[in-house]
Amino acid sequence: MSTTSQKLKNFTSEPMGDKPVTDLAGVGEVLGRRLESQGFDKAYVVLGQFLVLKKNRELFQDWMKEACQANSKQSSDCFQCLSEWCEEFL
């Protein structure tokens, strides 16, 4: 596995609670604002979309590209973050 970002480590180390969408790996200020404008203001709302898409990498990354113009690195980082969080807490 490649090096894990500190943001990913922090996110996957504890329950999600009411964390903002920008706490997700791969989601910075700009993508966060774009997601928020579409109603995805909290990390758990993005998790819901992740689960609706059945934890499918390709579908999730395509959704992120459409929803907030995420590039492949950003959407991959976010997918990995949610996937690891699910392995730990679901």
Residues 44-78 pLDDT 10s:
999 999 999 999 999 999 999 999 999 999 999 99
What local confidence, expressed as pLDDT, does residue 45 receive? Answer: 98
> Cα separation of 88 and 90, whole Å?
6
Residue 1 has pLDDT above 60, yes or no: no
- The residue ranges of every structural domain in the chain are 20-89
Class of domain 20-89: mainly alpha
Half-sphere exposure of 8 (CA within 13 A, CB side): 18
Res 5 pLDDT > 90:
no
pLDDT at residue 4, as a whole number:
56
pTM: 0.92
Cα 25 to Cα 49, 82, distances in angstroms: 16, 9
